[in-house]
């Protein structure tokens, strides 16, 4: 009977040892599983960190690229603005020159017109004087003719009348000579006036033609300058649009990269929190397992001590 009790106690001790071994194995397996999960979490966190670093590097490269593009666009815009300002200054200068030359030519035309008008007034005055002179000469001739006729009628009567007739004939010859000289002077004056008028007209036409050519040239130059200014203005607008597009696109890419970086940082924080929780749970489980194993070891030691004591007592009793 005592041997059966001792065998039962030994079997119970072995069973407890087997349970303790199984508990240790389960604890080791749990610790191994926890370690594997922690390793996976660490690997995922490291991958997230690397992705965040790659995003930061990509974001920095995009920021540098955008900055360079912005600086280049600013330089092009400044160059185009300077060219536009130069073209506008040239156009303004050309317009000023055109207006000054037009004013000068208008003054020349006005002076020529005034000279022609003065010459025409002089011709008119001379013609009026010549007509008046002719009228007076004709009146004088008619008066002399009347006197001559009267004298001729009385010539046959007295010698004095013949002398008067001779005087009147001499006066008539003088008057006729004066009329011829006046007519010659009038013809000469008319010829000179015609020549001066023709010269003035020719000079006026030449000046007008030259002025017209100059105006056309300056108008073409002004049109070309305006066209160039318009082209430069269009280039400026295109550059401004491209600059605005780059700024908008860069801002969108920057915001997207920042959102991705924030999401990666949040994922890293979540993984680190999960890793800490798993580590705490594994540490708690390991501590609980160690405490349980120590309690089991103590129970086994007590049981084995009791069995050994019982066996010793049985042995001593059998020997007695």
Give the C-alpha separation, 244 to 231, whole Å.
20
* Residue that has been written with the tokens 């609980």 in this structure: 288
> Could you tell me the residue range of the domain that residue 216 belongs to?
2-319
Which tens digit of pLDDT belongs to each residue from 300-310? 667 666 656 66
Question: Is the predicted pLDDT of residue 110 greater than 60, yes or no?
Answer: yes
Which tens digit of pLDDT belongs to each residue from 27-86? 555 555 555 666 666 676 677 667 767 777 777 777 777 778 777 767 777 776 776 677
The H or E element spanning position 129 is helix 2-155
For residue 13, give the nearest of 299, 313, 309 by alpha carbon: 299
Give the C-alpha separation, 185 to 179, whole Å.
10
What angle, rounded to 10 degrees, do the helices at 2-155 and 159-319 form? 180
For residue 31, give the nearest of 293, 291, 287, 297 by alpha carbon: 287
The CB density around residue 239, as the number of other CB atoms within 10 Å, is 20
What burial letters (b/e) apply to 248-279, b meaning 16+ CB within 10 Å? eebeebeeebeebbeebeebbeebeeebeebe
Mean pLDDT of the chain: 67
When pLDDT is averaged across residues 284-301 and rounded to a whole number, the result is 68
Task: Compute the C-alpha angle 300/301/304, nearest 5°.
Answer: 80
Q: How many domains does the chain fold into?
A: 1
Give the C-alpha separation, 98 to 216, whole Å.
10
Give the C-alpha separation, 172 to 154, whole Å.
18
Structural contact between residues 232 and 147, judged by C-beta atoms closer than 8 angstroms: no
Residues contacting residue 63 through CB under 8 Å, at least 6 positions apart: 250, 254
CA R_g for the chain: 68
Give the C-alpha separation, 192 to 199, whole Å.
10
The H or E element spanning position 226 is helix 159-319
The confidence score (pLDDT) of residue 294 equals: 73
Give the C-alpha separation, 77 to 239, whole Å.
6
CA 204 vs CA 102, 109, 191, 220: distances in Å: 15, 7, 20, 24
pTM surpassing 0.85? no
The confidence score (pLDDT) of residue 26 equals: 59
Phi, psi of 212 (to 5 degrees): -65, -45
When pLDDT is averaged across residues 265-274 and rounded to a whole number, the result is 70
For residue 304, give the nearest of 17, 24, 25, 23 by alpha carbon: 17
């Amino acid at each position: 009977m005592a041997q059966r009790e001792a065998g039962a106690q030994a079997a119970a001790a072995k069973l407890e040892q087997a349970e303790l071994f199984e508990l240790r194995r389960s604890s080791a397996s749990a610790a191994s599983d926890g370690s594997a999960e922690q390793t996976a979490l660490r690997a995922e966190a490291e991958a997230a960190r690397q992705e965040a670093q790659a995003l930061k590097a990509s974001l920095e490269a995009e920021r540098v690229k955008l900055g360079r593009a912005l600086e280049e666009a600013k330089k092009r815009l400044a160059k185009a603005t300077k060219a536009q300002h130069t073209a506008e200054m040239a156009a303004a200068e050309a317009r000023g020159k055109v207006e000054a030359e037009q004013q000068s030519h208008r003054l020349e035309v006005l002076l020529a017109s005034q000279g022609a008008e003065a010459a025409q007034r002089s011709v008119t005055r001379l013609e009026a004087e010549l007509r008046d002179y002719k009228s007076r000469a004709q009146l004088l001739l008619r008066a002399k003719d009347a006197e001559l006729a009267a004298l001729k009628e009385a010539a046959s009567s007295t010698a004095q009348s013949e002398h008067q007739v001779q005087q009147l004939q001499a006066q008539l010859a003088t008057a006729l000579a004066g009329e011829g000289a006046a007519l010659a002077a009038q013809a000469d004056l008319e010829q000179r006036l015609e020549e001066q008028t023709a010269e003035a007209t020719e000079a006026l036409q030449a000046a007008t033609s030259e002025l017209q050519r100059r105006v056309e040239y300056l108008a073409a130059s002004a049109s070309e300058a305006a066209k160039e200014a318009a082209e430069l203005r269009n280039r400026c607008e295109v550059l401004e649009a491209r600059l605005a597009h780059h700024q908008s696109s860069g801002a969108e890419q920057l915001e997207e990269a920042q959102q991705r970086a924030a999401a990666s940082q949040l994922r890293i924080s979540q993984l680190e929190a999960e890793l800490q929780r798993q580590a705490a749970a594994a540490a708690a489980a390991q501590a609980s397992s160690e405490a349980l194993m120590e309690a089991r070891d103590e129970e086994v030691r007590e049981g084995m001590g009791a069995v050994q004591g019982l066996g010793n007592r049985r042995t001593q009793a059998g020997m007695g």
